[in-house]
Chains A and B, each alone.
Chain A
Amino acid sequence: DAGVTQSPTHLIKTRGQQVTLRCSPKSGHDTVSWYQQALGQGPQFIFQYYEEEERQRGNFPDRFSGHQYPNYSSELNVNALLLGDSALYLCASSSRLLGTGFGETQYFGPGTRLLVL
């Protein structure tokens, strides 16, 4: 099992463009969370998907959207990119054994580093 995989590893975009990041969860996991990690900061929660629906959302604008497919893989879309969107984007997967997601261990991917010029 390769664990959580993300693509691409690096991406360069210009302001105003749109970007799509992809994530495949660890085998056996059905829940995907996305985090943004700015340089020198801890990861910040963007949203979580379970059963193809957004279940929780952090304090991010509507420019950030996502999708989960029936095979549990997920995409993060960011529209109208701003310079401040430059960051490492982390995907994490987990299994909803407890029903709510509370307290479940999340397994992280290597991240996609996005640079907006």
Chain B
Amino acid sequence: AQRVTQPEKLLSVFKGAPVELKCNYSYSGSPELFWYVQYSRQRLQLLLRHISRESIKGFTADLNKGETSFHLKKPFAQEEDSAMYYCALSIYNQGGKLIFGQGTELSVKP
């Protein structure tokens, strides 16, 4: 079955340090991958998606089909990056269904 795994429930870093939030997926075809973010007391919102190849708020993510990974990276973390991050997978023959990972809570300390 298709699955998304985020191995870290909590990631704690200091301001200015690099950040990498890991996401691995299990799917043999061509996926579409997303990172969603939920800031405190806000709704879940899209951070970035694989197909657009954008850099949002300094975050980037590269799809590695060989390692079936879509890790989220930022070179210098900011305190306002503290939030819950979810990786999600969309599969062609399953229409609009999104398969989410369990989420990683990022805490950026001053």
Contact = CB atoms under 8 A, between A and B. Distances in A.
Contacts of A105: 34, 46, 49
17 contacts: A33-B98, A40-B102, A41-B102, A42-B101, A42-B102, A43-B44, A48-B95, A48-B97, A56-B97, A94-B96, A96-B96, A102-B32, A102-B95, A103-B90, A103-B92, A104-B90, A110-B43
A31 B96 contact: yes
Contacts of B49: 103, 105
Given A103-B32, A105-B46, A110-B43, A45 B99 contact: yes
Interface residues of A, number: 32
Interface string A49-72: 010000110100000000000000
B44 A108 contact: yes
Interface residues of B, number: 27
Given A42-B102, A43-B44, A105-B49, A55 B86 contact: no
Interface in A62-117: 90, 92, 94, 96, 100-111
A101 B52 CA distance: 16
B44 A101 contact: no
Interface string B73-104: 00000000000001010111111111111110
